[in-house]
Amino acid sequence: MADAKTKADNRGTTINGVDADRPHEADARQRTGHAGNRNGVAPPRAEPFPVADANGRAARARRDSDGGIQSADTALQVLTALAGLPGAQAVSELGRALDMPRAKVHRYLVSLERAGYVAQDPVSARYRLGPQALRTGLAALAEVDFVALAAAQLDSVRAAVGETVFVAIWGEHGPTIVLWRDAPRPVTVNVRVGSTLPLRYSATGRVFACWWPAAEEMHGAAANAPDGDRSWPQERRDTIERGYALIRGGLVPGIDAASFPVFDAQGALAGALTTLGLAGQIALGADGPLIRTLDETARYWSSQLGHRIDRR
């Protein structure tokens, strides 16, 4: 399993060992190309990684009951609900989604329309987000950096799952580790920050092979398969359907890994969140708490980057 130990990147360069006593971070901040959306359903996850619920409404952070303006809170609830629902919405539909009287919803929509945050279709009378909402969203996205976002929360993720976790983005030579946090009892592996992972035989690489259009063309993921092995197309389909990459063993028997894609506002792959550990000790069952936590974390990071969560 090449997330745990890989001899070379796709050009044959040897990778050095990892210092297991310290977390590592890369200085690089790299952008990514385009990729598709991820499928798969995950159960709800409580704090600290809130994500959109099954109806598309953003999970709300815990509020300070001692301050704030109630009318502003309500207006933002209406705006958030409109942003989370598909297409233009009737006042009655928003009222049902918010469990709020139709007349009350309408009053707030009128105020939001005056400010440019919503717009009403003159024919259908339905409401959608307005130009000011777009400008506000674009301004917020301009301040978001995936690696910085992940770095600020990776310690909490590691504490929540109790296993080694790392983050990778697409680098000059392929999937490249940029952040690393060891488990309390670290697994000795032969990768480190800056290491490039192969597309076929690492969980991280499979995320890029599945959701990064240029990955197979640039690095020939199919060519990594042993002679006569035609299983990769099915493995790729299974990974996309599952919504994350899973490898048990691979190049290094006894090391298992799972990797989750993180998407940006355009649906492009921003990077991957990966965990690895010893087989028999790391619990990678589909319904287990580790997989649920990492899936919800990846979804939350995607939402922070502006990606619209798509749940079946």
Instruction: Give the DSSP letter string of 134-184.
Output: HHHHHHHHHT--HHHHHHHHHHHHHHHH-SEEEEEEEETTEEEEEEEE--S
Of 134, 148, 169, 156, nearest in space to 265 by CA: 134
Q: Token match 């599952």: residue?
A: 242
Is the Cβ–Cβ distance between 255 and 242 less than 8 Å? no
| Residue ranges, CATH 1.10.10.10, the chain | 70-142
Element (H, E) at 128: strand 127-129
Residue 280 has a pLDDT of 79
- Residue 186: exposed, middle, or buried by beta-carbon count in 10 A (0-12, 13-18, 19+)? middle
- 222: number of Cβ within 10 Å: 15
Architecture of domain 70-142 in this structure: Orthogonal Bundle (1.10)
CA-CA distance, 178 to 197, in Å (whole number)?
A: 12
Q: How many residues does the chain have?
A: 312
Q: The domain 24-44+145-304 is classified under which CATH number: 3.30.450.40, 3.40.47.10, 3.40.718.10, 1.10.3720.10?
A: 3.30.450.40
Residue 84 has a pLDDT of 84
Written as tens digits, the pLDDT of the chain (312 aa) is 444 444 333 333 333 333 333 344 444 444 333 334 443 333 333 344 443 343 333 444 444 455 678 899 999 999 999 988 888 999 999 999 999 999 999 999 999 999 999 999 999 999 999 999 888 876 776 666 888 889 999 999 999 988 889 999 888 778 889 899 988 876 767 777 888 888 888 899 999 988 887 665 654 544 444 444 567 788 888 888 889 998 887 656 778 889 999 998 888 899 999 998 888 788 788 888 999 999 999 999 998 888 876 643
Is the Cβ–Cβ distance between 288 and 42 less than 8 Å? no
Q: In terms of DSSP bridges, do strands 127-129 and 164-171 run parallel, antiparallel, or are they unpaired?
A: unpaired
Structure tokens at 304: 């922070």
CA-CA distance, 267 to 35, in Å (whole number)?
A: 6
| Residue ranges, CATH 3.30.450.40, the chain | 24-44+145-304
Residues forming beta bridges with residue 170, ordered by sequence position: 175
User: How many Cα atoms sit within 13 Å of 99 on the Cβ side?
Assistant: 1
- Per-residue b/e over 36-62, b at no fewer than 16 CB within 10 Å? ebbebebeebeeebbbbeeebbebeee
User: How many Cα atoms sit within 13 Å of 195 on the Cβ side?
Assistant: 29
Q: Token match 């009378």: residue?
A: 125
- 254: number of Cβ within 10 Å: 14
